[in-house]
Chain A
Amino acid sequence: MTTLVRASNLSKRFGHVVALDGVDLEIPEGRIVGLIGPNGAGKTTALKALLGLTSFAGELEVMGLDPRRERHRIMQDVCFIADVAVLPRWLKVRQVLRVAEGLHPRFSPERAEKLLAASQVRLDSRVGQLSKGMVTQLHLALVMAIEAKLLVLDEPTIGLDILYRKDFYTTLLNDYFDEGRTILVTTHQVEEIEHILTDVLFINKGRIVLDESMEQIGERFAQVAVTPEQADAARDLNPLYEQDMFGRKIFLFQDRSPQQLSGLGETRVPGIADLFVAKMKGAAA
Chain B
Amino acid sequence: MSVMTTLLKRETWEHRAILIAPTVFGGLFILVAILAAAGAIHVQIGDGGVDLRAMLSSMDGQQIAASMQMQLASVAVFLNVVMLLVVIFYLLDCLYAERKDRSILFWKSLPVSDLTVVGSKLLTATVVIPLVTAIVFLATAIGIYLIIGTLALFAGSGAVLAAGPGAILDTMTAALYGVIVQSLWYQPLYGWLLLVSAWAKRTVLLWAVLPLFAVTALERMVFGTGLFGHLLGERLTGVFPLAFRPATDHIVWEFHEGGANASLELVESLSQLMDPGAFLLSPGLWGGLVVGILLSGAAVWLRRYRDET
Contacts and interface: CB of A to CB of B under 8 A. Distances in A.
A72 to B, nearest CB: 4
A61 to B, nearest CB: 18
B305 A55 contact: yes
A55 B306 CA distance: 9
Contacts of B110: 75, 99-100, 103-104
Give the residue among A73, A82, A92, A103 with the most B Cβ atoms within 10 A: A103
Given A88-B101, A88-B103, A88-B106, A104 B111 contact: yes
Interface in B180-217: none
Nearest to B111: A75
B13 A86 contact: no
B160 to A, nearest CB: 44
A215 B81 CA distance: 69
A63 interface: no
A166 to B, nearest CB: 24
B93 to A, nearest CB: 12
B5 to A, nearest CB: 7
A51 B108 CA distance: 9
A98 interface: yes
A93 to B, nearest CB: 12
Interface in A77-104: 78-82, 85-92, 95, 98-104
Interface in B107-127: 107-113
Nearest to A152: B109
Contact of B3 (A48, A53, A75, A102): A102
Contact of B113 (A72, A82, A90): A72
B307 interface: yes
B113 A86 contact: no
Q: How large is the interface on B (under 10, 10 to 19, 20 to 34, 35 or more residues)?
A: 20 to 34
Give the residue among B103, B105, B111, B304 with the most A Cβ atoms within 10 A: B111
Give the residue among B5, B102, B106, B309 with the most A Cβ atoms within 10 A: B106
A102 B6 contact: yes
Interface string B5-26: 1110110011000000000000
B101 A102 contact: no
A86 B106 CA distance: 6
Nearest to B13: A95
Nearest to A127: B103
B1 interface: yes
B2 interface: yes
A86 B102 contact: yes
A250 B103 CA distance: 46
Interface string B226-241: 0000000000000000
Q: How large is the interface on A (under 10, 10 to 19, 20 to 34, 35 or more residues)?
A: 20 to 34
Contacts of A91: 13-14
A74 B106 CA distance: 15
A71 interface: yes
Contacts of B2: 102
Contacts of A72: 111-113
Contacts of A95: 10, 13
Given A87-B106, A91-B13, A98-B9, A48 B307 contact: yes
A104 B98 CA distance: 19
Given A54-B307, A88-B14, A103-B7, A71 B102 contact: no
B5 A86 contact: no
A75 B103 CA distance: 16
Contacts of A98: 1, 6, 9
A92 B16 CA distance: 13
Given A72-B113, A105-B111, A90 B13 contact: yes
B1 A80 contact: no
A108 interface: no
Interface in B1-60: 1-3, 5-7, 9-10, 13-14
Nearest to A96: B106
A76 interface: yes
Interface in A22-80: 48, 51, 53-55, 71-76, 78-80
B3 A55 contact: no
Contact of A86 (B1, B3, B105): B105
Contacts of A92: 13
Contacts of A85: 102
Contacts of A78: 109
Contacts of B102: 82, 85-86
Given A53-B307, A103-B6, A103-B110, A82 B101 contact: no
Given A75-B109, A99-B110, 10 more contacts: A48-B307, A53-B108, A54-B307, A71-B304, A78-B109, A82-B102, A82-B105, A92-B13, A98-B9, A102-B9
Interface of B: 1-3, 5-7, 9-10, 13-14, 98, 101-113, 304-305, 307, 309
Interface of A: 48, 51, 53-55, 71-76, 78-82, 85-92, 95, 98-105
Q: Nearest 4 pairs between A and B by C-beta? A: A102-B6, A75-B111, A82-B105, A80-B109
30 contacts: A48-B307, A53-B108, A53-B307, A55-B307, A71-B304, A72-B111, A72-B112, A76-B111, A79-B109, A81-B109, A82-B109, A82-B309, A86-B102, A87-B106, A88-B106, A90-B13, A90-B14, A92-B13, A98-B6, A99-B10, A99-B110, A102-B3, A102-B5, A102-B6, A102-B9, A103-B3, A103-B6, A103-B112, A104-B110, A105-B111
